[in-house]
Amino acid sequence: MEKIYMIPVNDAYNESCGCPVCRLRDKAENNYLEYYLGPSLMEPDTRKITNKTGFCPVHMGKLNQAVTNRLGLGLVMHTHLKDFHEELDPKLKASIPAKAGLLKGRNSDYKQKLNSVADLIEKRINTCPICDNLNEAMGHYIEVICWMFSHDQDFKGKFLNSEFHCLPHTAMLLRQAAKLSQNEASDFVDALYNNNAKTFEALISDVEYFTLKFDYRNTDKPWGTSKDSIQRSMRFLSSDGRDFDVQQSKKQS
């Protein structure tokens, strides 16, 4: 019987295109983006978190693109700026080095103060509740995938027939496989290897053909499956669902 935590995993593997773990990540990320721009932004517990952490540069950009609640984003940004300023301002001011003079010699303590304030800034700008929630969710999904592969024959077939697993998610799956029994890990990693070997070989061939198409002698030859091979390679290497360099791809047609 399908458990509720298996549903999103099965849904992701029911689609045949691209990396299914990327689909799980993208859906989870969109849910968190909607959550932090939804009614939760008026909840005191949520605002305590966002006031202190803000969002990482990547998720600030995605929140900015999600124009569903500009007022909510403004409210979150306003109180986060105030919180950040209240903590940083006195520390930054206190870190201004005193100038060395004839009566007062040089003092290297200022270096430690400056580095301490820099550490504070970097820690705060790189802290993000969406990243934290997403990392936790992905860890859970990876566990479920490995468990379902060994205990659900229908899912095992979907896994075997998936188009590919991008390399960053392959690494996550391998780390989870290291927690399985040796026989379970053998079956799982064998399937993962065959999946990725096939993808590597296809991409290498397509990208090579892509480059050969720029030889004038091959101008009239069809592109075949190579036209978007650069973009597909980027997605395989980077775990990114965007269409890389779409405009350049269109110019080839």
User: How many structural domains comprise the chain?
Assistant: 2
Residues 112 and 159 grouped into a single domain: no
225 and 127 together in one domain: no
User: pLDDT value at position 220?
Assistant: 87
* Residue 94 and residue 29 in one domain: yes
pLDDT in tens, 192-229: 999 899 999 999 999 999 999 888 888 888 888 888 88
Evaluate the CA torsion angle 165, 170, 176, 181 in order and state its sign.
Answer: positive
Whole-prediction pTM: 0.81
Give residue 153's domain range: 141-251
Residues 127 and 174 in one domain: no
Proportion of the chain above pLDDT 90, given as a percent = 64
- Residue 9 inside a domain? The answer is no
Matching residue, tokens 């399937």: 191
Q: Are residues 166 and 111 in the same domain?
A: no
1 falls within a domain? no
Give residue-wise pLDDT tens across range 179-201.
Answer: 999 999 999 999 999 989 999 99
Asked if residue 162 and residue 103 are part of one domain, the reply reads no
52 part of a folded domain: yes
Is 225 inside a domain boundary?
yes
Confirm whether 2 is domain-assigned: no
Question: For the CA atoms of 12, 14, 19, 23, what is the dihedral angle to 10 degrees?
Answer: -20
Domain-embedded: residue 176: yes
CA dihedral (72, 78, 80, 84) in degrees, to 10, reads: 170
Q: Can you tell me which residue has the tokens 């990392």?
A: 135
Q: Do residues 164 and 199 both lie within one domain?
A: yes
Is 4 a member of any domain?
no
Is 11 part of any domain?
no
pLDDT at 253 over 50: no
Contact between residue 128 and residue 55 where contact means Cβ atoms under 8 Å apart: yes
* Cα R_g (the chain), whole angstroms: 25
Domain boundary among 131, 150, 181: 131
| Single residue among 101, 131, 161 that ends a domain in this structure | 131
Q: What is the pLDDT of residues 38-66, one digit of tens each?
A: 888 889 999 999 999 999 988 998 898 87
Same domain, 29 and 122: yes
Mean pLDDT of 8-30: 93
CB proximity list for 34: less than 8 A, separation 6 or greater = 66, 68
C-alpha distances in Å from residue 32, one per residue of 40, 45, 82, 230, 242: 11, 16, 23, 30, 18
Same domain, 85 and 57: yes
Domain ends where: 113, 131, 149? 131
Contact call for residues 54 and 44 (beta carbons, < 8 A): no
Tens-digit pLDDT profile for residues 91-114: 999 999 888 765 565 667 889 999
Q: Are residues 147 and 126 in the same domain?
A: no
The verdict on 31 and 82 lying in the same domain is yes
Q: Is 165 exposed, middle or buried (0-12, 13-18, 19+ CB in 10 A)?
A: buried
Instruction: Indicate whether 29 and 73 sit together in one domain.
Output: yes
Please list the alpha-helical segments (H only) found in the chain.
7-14, 20-37, 44-53, 57-65, 70-94, 109-125, 129-151, 153-161, 167-177, 182-212, 229-238, 246-251
